[in-house]
Structure 1
Amino acid sequence: MSKNAPMPAAQDATARDRSTTNPSTKDGSTKDPWIHSDTYPMLRRIFLDHGRQHIKAYILAALLLAIGAAATAASAYLLKPVLNGIVDGEKFSGLRLLAWAVFGLFTLRGIATYLSLIVLSRTGNRIIAGVQSQVFDHLLRQDMRFFHDRHSTDFMARLAYAPNAVRDTLQAMITAFGRELLTLIGLIVVMFVQDPLLAALSLLTLPVAALLLGRMIGKVRKFARRSFDGSTLIMQTMQETVQGSRIVKSFNLEDTMRARMAAAIREVERSMNRVASGMAMSSPIADALAGFAIGSVIFYGSWRVTIQQADAGSFFSFVAALLMAYEPAKRLARLKLEIQNGLVGAKLIYEVLDRPALEMPRPGLPKLAVSAGRVEIDNLRFRYRADEEVLNGLTLSVEPNQTTALVGPSGGGKSTIIGLLQRFYTPEAGKIIIDGQDIADVDLASLRDRIAFVSQDVYLFRGTIRENIALGRLGASEEEIVAAARKAHAHDFIMGFSSGYNTAVGEHGAQLSGGQKQRIAIARAILKDAPIILLDEPTAALDSESEREVQKALDEMRIGRTTLVVAHRLQTIINSDRIYVIENGKAVESGTHAQLIAADGTYRAFFASQFGETVESFRVAAAQGRP
């Protein structure tokens, strides 16, 4: 990352994210406010944002689950006449009808459960797709500051995994209230109908279970977040190992990367074990309390049946309802744990969606109209960090049909100017004007449509050479793609591949050399056919032979266009129409190469540091009109 990379702004945002996740209390401990005060507002937000649009499907699923719940309660109620029919031989003939009724109830419950699962699955998949599209679209509308201090795997993990949490949270609530709660209510009604006193005694354990399970919520939430962070580190280490495989092997970093991966895997394993322990703890608590309740009921109920001659069928139906109520009651007890686990993922989604999108379209703005292509930068001020001004009242102009070069020491603000021209960032003061139009007041897409950009960090997308060039102008014909490649001096080496333009470039263009990738990037820019060209050290990382080929391509590209080029290697810009020396955020000198050499100032010293020539040789070269 360059010296001017906007770290602090992103760090501030990251710090805000982290403080929201795990703020410190006055005594230095950590406490997640979502566990208590924000849980229900968050659930409401999830429903309004993602559940409300699928309300019909959820109502249908809830009705199907309710049918299953009613069937369960009815089957428990029918056990009373079944047992009494067994005891009383005269009622045996009616048992056949009851047997068919029980069979029908269980069949109905199975069909209702199947249909509800289908509805919930399809609805859940639509929610995941919608959330992923929403998050990705929001990321595209962020400015460059947002991305600089975040690893790409963080976004990948949020996009791949976190939307599942939104779906799971909604489905957990629908299932809990549509099936578990209604089943439990139905069975409790059966219990009270059969024996109100025993039912009241059985329910005394519920407050105790709620109290004990509530204590586990905070730990589950904390370790679920740690698990996500650890998973992100696993993806990050894998990505860096694959993409940086040459460096890893060249510097014998295999053991280092192994250690990083092992640490991340251990963190995920430990966190998932803690989450699993917290979730599993609900089972022994529920089992112990249920065992106590059922044992008490059997002890007291059997005494009533044997000693007080109470109705055996009612007691049997009551015990069956109590046993059948155990599983839905246990799942309801775990509901809050599952919701807290799901809210961790939902919060990761909202950390992205709640950040203002600085590149949102602004309706009504005029499109940029480029005629001559004159660029004026007037008193521009910009900083990445509050205490470090990068551009300090910069003023310069880029003339049409000419090449203007920016040179100077690293960190002086040259690449920042390129970024500001494309509105990757917003200046604190000053203006950038193209043909009399302030770029801050024109449609952003139209601005970028009129600019072609070539950087030293060439990025090729997955696919073929043809597809990468065609990205310069979607819909371009085959002839136009080939013509652009010819102008970029890339056609010959492309045809040297067995698959020609259908050659796959590999990840980040790994199948091509640096010079080949650069010429494909230039062909892409040529195909765009924009009137303004921005070149950010396009030959800095090339060998001499590749540089010559790329320079030919750049010369072709600049014909008839306004060109602004940033360069450290001065031999690439000595023929520029105008050269600006940028130092400490200002243009301290300007002129042609010969004029600046003759001026005996900063440019001359900068040139001398690269070529080691004497002052006199500079002046002779300037007088003779040669570098």
Structure 2
Amino acid sequence: MNPKQPAGQKPKLDRDETVTVLRRLLLQDGRRHWKGYALAFLMMGTMGACTAGLAYIMKDAVDAIFVTPTPEAVWGVALAVMALSIVKGASAYGQVITMARVGNRIVADNQKRAFEQLLHQDVSYYAQRHTAETSMRFNAGANGARGSLEMVISSMGRDALSLVMLAGVAIAQDPFLAVVALVVMPVAVLGTRVLIRKSKHIFATGFTSGVKLSSIALEVFQGIRTVKAYTLEDQMRDRTHAFIDQVEQASNRLVRTQAKSSPLMETLGGLAIGGVILYAGYNVIVADRSPGQFFSVLTALLLAYEPAKRLARLHVDIVPHIMGARMLFELLDTPAVDLDAPGTPALERPRGRVEFKDVVFGYRKGEPVLRGLSLVAEPGQTTALVGQSGGGKSTIINLIERFYDPHEGVITLDGIDLKAVTRTSVRASSALVSQDVYLFSGTIRDNIGFGRPGASEEEIVAAAKAAHAHSFIMSFEHGYDTAVGEHGAQLSGGQRQRVAIARAFLKNAPILLLDEATAALDSESEAEVQKALQELQHARTTIVIAHRLQTVVRADRICVVEAGRVVESGRHEELLEKRGRYYGLYYAQFAHELDAQAAETGEAAADATQARASA
């Protein structure tokens, strides 16, 4: 998949792209690690020379034993074979270690580059792709780059050099064998071209099925409570098994396709060796040539068989690695839209006046969420956003955090356009506490400390106390060293919220963004969290989203957001007196209380009718 290709579409690879990917790998990773590859190449050349030497010395070995046997000749040949074997073994060890070290460094470097690139993608990038696909590109891409280079270098250094040297030995013993080498190899390579195209298609199918399999498995693991609550085990098992079967079938087809090159090489190799035996045997029996020459030629041809087979299979075997490398390059080439242009100034710590001026924004083209919205959140005051779901309240928070930028209009902070300053400095000016608290794997101390990296133990504890979290933290056996589990699963909802609030306390940002921070809590936990939030809101610009209107009745300003616009604003009492949209929302939640109050003044029927009409 390339940057313009829709997420989840099956990746394809043609011949030109294969060459392009290889060229880029050699110019980037290959050039960066050329010294290591040069050393490995030298060792592989030494291995090839030793292999050729062993084939060449077979003539002297056979002649020394069977034609003109002498103890001195036997000892000489034996010692030479031992020496060549020792050098070859040492070179093989050095080559493996060197290639492994270079390969591991390439994987590490590319994973760092890929992770850096992923950090600079905006929220929409992740909204369009499943986590499993992103993870697959991150891991398979880096390993694909390594595998491609290793196969190319090994084929050039180990197989090609060995083949050339062994061919040289055979030709030196009998030039006729040059014809065999020139006939067998091109036929073998041409015979694999159809297999190459087929293996590319199979791998592409397997990649798509693999992404879907990882996606489903990850969703099941993360949503295991829902799976069990709705007894979805059988359905999830059937879905997962279906994709497992698809991946298995694709893997089997790929293995069969790759294996088809072996019979081709076996057949051609057998024909070549049979022909050599006939030709060399004729020379020994009829032409009275040395049997040592025959064995030397035969040994060279037999030793050349495996390198020749690997070279013929190279184009087939390298396909999965090339496609993995291409996935990495597609990720690295994706524009880093969440990265500021060089020279963009940072925002100084603001007072906290947030203003939206005729802002238009939508997540998808032609589907606006905000339609010319304007509002002001004053410094040190609490501004509440209320209204029915889908009106654009959470979108306002997303735009303040610069997860997205508006399509039209301007968002300013102390009169400065947010797009004129760095995203990092904008986000440093605000602290977000949402309903869906995200805690990272690690300890409670780690998660609070993320609010301000480098904070001291005393500052972390002070933040926890301010968030009313210190007491429950200390009730754990390991206190602040207690592991929170994946996504904070070891803590209750109220505990996770208070850890998140402690993190916000530690950040000490002038703007506080609360997105339904207590919506999922029971009344007791909500009371504790509300205490912490009230302390956190002190002397900060607070923008709070709430569906429970009793949590915002003390707000300095309440904005009713509907259909992407602010349709009503004011304090709680003022909005109730207007008998408008806010009154309708409030009545929907507290109908019994309003009816009772209205009955006391004799206005129950009229107010109830008006409120219902507003709702």
Residue 421 in 1 paired to residue 400 in 2? yes
Aligned to 1:277: 256
Taking structure 1 as reference, are residues 568 and 12 closer, same or farther at Cα in structure 2, changes over 3 Å only? Answer: farther
Residue 540 (structure 1) shift: 1.2
Residue 250 in 1 paired to residue 229 in 2? yes
Aligned to 2:78: 99
Aligned to 1:477: 456
Describe the superposition over 1:496-540 as per-residue Cα deviations: whole angstroms up to 9, x where unpaired.
223222222121111211111111111110111111101111111
Q: 2 CA distance for matches of 1:452 and 1:620?
A: 44
Q: 1 CA distance for matches of 2:228 and 2:596?
A: 48
From 119, 125, 128, the counterpart of 2:107: 128
Q: 2 CA distance for matches of 1:616 and 1:439?
A: 47
Query: Residue 384 of structure 1 aligns to a residue in which SS?
Result: coil
Aligned to 1:40: 19
Taking structure 1 as reference, are residues 618 and 340 closer, same or farther at Cα in structure 2, changes over 3 Å only? Answer: farther
Indicate conservation of the 8 Å contact 1:537/1:568, yes or no: yes
Residue 375 (structure 1) shift: 0.9
Query: Residue 356 of structure 1 aligns to a residue in which SS?
Result: coil
Any residues of structure 2 matched to 1:34-433 within 5 Å, and which?
34-89=13-68, 93-433=72-412
Aligned to 2:607: none
From 468, 473, 496, the counterpart of 1:489: 468
Query: Residue 534 of structure 1 aligns to a residue in which SS?
Result: strand
Query: Residue 176 of structure 2 aligns to a residue in which SS?
Result: helix
Query: Residue 391 of structure 2 aligns to a residue in which SS?
Result: coil
Residue 217 (structure 1) shift: 1.2
Q: 2 CA distance for matches of 1:415 and 1:284?
A: 62
Aligned to 1:580: 559
What one-letter code is carried by the residue in structure 1 that aligns with 2:6? R
Indicate conservation of the 8 Å contact 1:402/1:577, yes or no: yes
Residue 94 (structure 1) shift: 2.9
What one-letter code is carried by the residue in structure 2 that aligns with 1:103? M
- Calculate percent identity across the aligned residue pairs: 47
Taking structure 1 as reference, are residues 95 and 428 closer, same or farther at Cα in structure 2, changes over 3 Å only? Answer: same
Residue 203 (structure 1) shift: 3.2
What one-letter code is carried by the residue in structure 2 that aligns with 1:175? S
Larger displacement relative to structure 2 (443-452 or 255-264): 255-264
Q: 2 CA distance for matches of 1:361 and 1:49?
A: 25
Indicate conservation of the 8 Å contact 1:597/1:618, yes or no: no
Residue 453 (structure 1) shift: 0.6
Q: 2 CA distance for matches of 1:375 and 1:90?
A: 99
Describe the superposition over 1:531-561 as per-residue Cα deviations: whole angstroms up to 9, x where unpaired.
1101111111112222121111111100001
Residue 17 (structure 1) shift: 5.4
- What do you get for the CA RMSD once the two structures are aligned? 2.2
From 459, 466, 474, the counterpart of 2:445: 466
Taking structure 1 as reference, are residues 205 and 618 closer, same or farther at Cα in structure 2, changes over 3 Å only? Answer: farther
Residue 590 (structure 1) shift: 1.0
Indicate conservation of the 8 Å contact 2:350/2:414, yes or no: yes
Q: 2 CA distance for matches of 1:257 and 1:535?
A: 35
Residue 16 in 1 paired to residue 9 in 2? no
Residue 92 (structure 1) shift: 6.0
Larger displacement relative to structure 2 (125-134 or 541-550): 541-550
Taking structure 1 as reference, are residues 298 and 99 closer, same or farther at Cα in structure 2, changes over 3 Å only? Answer: same
Residue 208 (structure 1) shift: 2.0
Indicate conservation of the 8 Å contact 2:350/2:413, yes or no: no
Q: 2 CA distance for matches of 1:556 and 1:273?
A: 62
Residue 302 (structure 1) shift: 1.6
Q: 2 CA distance for matches of 1:435 and 1:201?
A: 82
Describe the superposition over 1:204-262 as per-residue Cα deviations: whole angstroms up to 9, x where unpaired.
12222112211111222233333344444443333333322222221111112222221
Residue 136 (structure 1) shift: 0.9
Output the TM-score relative to the length of structure 2: 0.93
Query: Residue 16 of structure 2 aligns to a residue in which SS?
Result: coil
Residue 538 in 1 paired to residue 523 in 2? no
Residue 297 (structure 1) shift: 1.7
What one-letter code is carried by the residue in structure 2 that aligns with 1:69? G
What one-letter code is carried by the residue in structure 1 that aligns with 2:77? L
Query: Residue 215 of structure 1 aligns to a residue in which SS?
Result: helix
Taking structure 1 as reference, are residues 577 and 318 closer, same or farther at Cα in structure 2, changes over 3 Å only? Answer: same
Tell me, which stretches of 5 or more residues in structure 2 are unaligned?
604-615
What one-letter code is carried by the residue in structure 2 that aligns with 1:294? I
What one-letter code is carried by the residue in structure 2 that aligns with 1:148? A
Taking structure 1 as reference, are residues 406 and 17 closer, same or farther at Cα in structure 2, changes over 3 Å only? Answer: closer
Residue 298 (structure 1) shift: 1.2
What one-letter code is carried by the residue in structure 2 that aligns with 1:210? V
From 546, 556, 567, the counterpart of 2:535: 556
Residue 373 (structure 1) shift: 1.4
Aligned to 2:606: none
Indicate conservation of the 8 Å contact 2:352/2:414, yes or no: yes
Q: 2 CA distance for matches of 1:371 and 1:17?
A: 39
Any residues of structure 2 matched to 1:435-474 within 5 Å, and which?
435-474=414-453
What one-letter code is carried by the residue in structure 2 that aligns with 1:140? L
Taking structure 1 as reference, are residues 437 and 12 closer, same or farther at Cα in structure 2, changes over 3 Å only? Answer: farther
Indicate conservation of the 8 Å contact 1:202/1:294, yes or no: no
Tell me, which stretches of 5 or more residues in structure 1 are unaligned?
1-10, 23-31
Q: 2 CA distance for matches of 1:46 and 1:124?
A: 12
What one-letter code is carried by the residue in structure 2 that aligns with 1:302? G
Taking structure 1 as reference, are residues 308 and 529 closer, same or farther at Cα in structure 2, changes over 3 Å only? Answer: same
Indicate conservation of the 8 Å contact 2:3/2:333, yes or no: no
Describe the superposition over 1:360-386 as per-residue Cα deviations: whole angstroms up to 9, x where unpaired.
243322221234211111111111111
Indicate conservation of the 8 Å contact 1:17/1:351, yes or no: no
Taking structure 1 as reference, are residues 314 and 12 closer, same or farther at Cα in structure 2, changes over 3 Å only? Answer: closer
What one-letter code is carried by the residue in structure 2 that aligns with 1:241? V
Describe the superposition over 1:375-424 as per-residue Cα deviations: whole angstroms up to 9, x where unpaired.
11111111111121111111111001100011112111111110111110
Aligned to 2:579: 600
Q: 1 CA distance for matches of 2:61 and 2:113?
A: 56
Q: 2 CA distance for matches of 1:12 and 1:378?
A: 37
Q: 1 CA distance for matches of 2:239 and 2:228?
A: 15
Residue 620 (structure 1) shift: 9.2
Indicate conservation of the 8 Å contact 1:368/1:446, yes or no: yes
Residue 58 (structure 1) shift: 0.3
Q: 1 CA distance for matches of 2:96 and 2:350?
A: 61
Larger displacement relative to structure 2 (376-385 or 193-202): 193-202
Taking structure 1 as reference, are residues 196 and 373 closer, same or farther at Cα in structure 2, changes over 3 Å only? Answer: same
Aligned to 1:6: none
Query: Residue 362 of structure 2 aligns to a residue in which SS?
Result: strand
Query: Residue 362 of structure 1 aligns to a residue in which SS?
Result: coil
Indicate conservation of the 8 Å contact 1:365/1:442, yes or no: yes
Output the TM-score relative to the length of structure 1: 0.91
Indicate conservation of the 8 Å contact 1:370/1:434, yes or no: no
Residue 93 (structure 1) shift: 3.4
Residue 610 (structure 1) shift: 2.4
Residue 331 (structure 1) shift: 0.8
Q: 1 CA distance for matches of 2:21 and 2:338?
A: 27
Larger displacement relative to structure 2 (610-619 or 191-200): 610-619
